[in-house]
A and B are shown apart, each in its own frame.
Chain A
């Protein structure tokens, strides 16, 4: 249960991606992969933001990790709140997809399990490679939120929330079919079900296409 799969679109084709808890080593690898992206496209503001947010999220995670307030797996997260029901724990989820023999990082989310057993999303950033106009990767943001919904369901968490900004509010309005979203978005039972159904529909269609190709 450490891993959650979801569908994305790469160069027009549907593909499976997965979301998992980041370990220190994985964060270091992710961090290293940023430098090539910075050199390639200096001009894109979104790429610069993605690099900055990812570096800051990793630094913040390390800071909390040193204080014993960050986890690297689902088991560690469960153990933390079983020990102390009111604890606040941070974690980073990394999304990846397979590209040939190579596993490509495509995005991450920095989250917190709050003291009252909710999930807060602090950072949601695509990997700079996926923002490259040549690659055309779509669905990573909604996929990561879907992964978070599955995590929330697994842990019986009733609410996922986060601060919305002028840039993120339109995305959450579309994702949650709610308007207007101002500086706060909340994902509860109804929205969680809608997000899950949406992914299930695409996954079923993907299976049908694969089966059709196998029959040809």
Chain B
């Protein structure tokens, strides 16, 4: 489909459009990637919380623990 130039709107006309139509946009591919990152983060967070619940030491390596 060919794109055609249309009549240019003034900024006031654009503002009127924006006042009625909320500008909240996300590129579908970016949104999918961001959701994936958020899920990864959640899993990582839960795993950390879970391991803490099991009594595992956080921030101390096994070698240091063995040396103690």
- Enumerate chain A interface residues (CB-CB to B < 8 A): 7-9, 46, 49-50, 53, 55-57, 59-60, 63, 107, 110, 120-126, 131, 136, 138-142, 162-163, 165, 167-168, 170-171, 173-175, 177-182, 194, 198-199, 201-202
Q: Point out the residues of chain B lying under 8 angstroms from A56, CB to CB.
A: 26, 31, 34-35, 37-38
Beta-carbon contacts under 8 Å, B1-34 to A: 1, 3-19, 21-31, 33-34
Residue of A nearest to B9 (CB): A174
Interface majority SS on B: helix, strand, loop or mixed?
helix
User: B14 touches which one: A46, A110, A120, A174 (CB < 8 A)?
Assistant: A174
Residue of A nearest to B25 (CB): A168
Cα distance A181–B13 when bound, in Å? Answer: 19
In this complex, the member of B6, B10, B19, B23 whose beta carbon has the largest number of chain A beta carbons within 10 angstroms is B23
Q: Point out the residues of chain A lying under 8 angstroms from B31, CB to CB.
A: 53, 56, 123
Query: A165–B11 contact, CB under 8 A?
Result: no
Query: B9–A7 contact, CB under 8 A?
Result: no
- Can you offer 23 A-B residue contacts whose CB atoms are under 8 A? A9-B15, A46-B24, A53-B26, A56-B26, A56-B34, A56-B35, A59-B37, A110-B30, A125-B24, A125-B26, A126-B23, A131-B24, A138-B16, A138-B18, A139-B11, A139-B18, A141-B18, A142-B14, A163-B28, A165-B27, A173-B6, A177-B7, A179-B4
Query: B25–A165 contact, CB under 8 A?
Result: yes
User: A180 touches which one: B3, B21, B35 (CB < 8 A)?
Assistant: B3
- With A139-B11, A165-B28, A180-B3 given, name 16 new contacts (CB 8 A): A53-B24, A56-B37, A60-B34, A63-B41, A121-B27, A123-B26, A123-B30, A124-B25, A125-B26, A126-B24, A162-B27, A168-B25, A171-B17, A177-B6, A179-B6, A180-B1
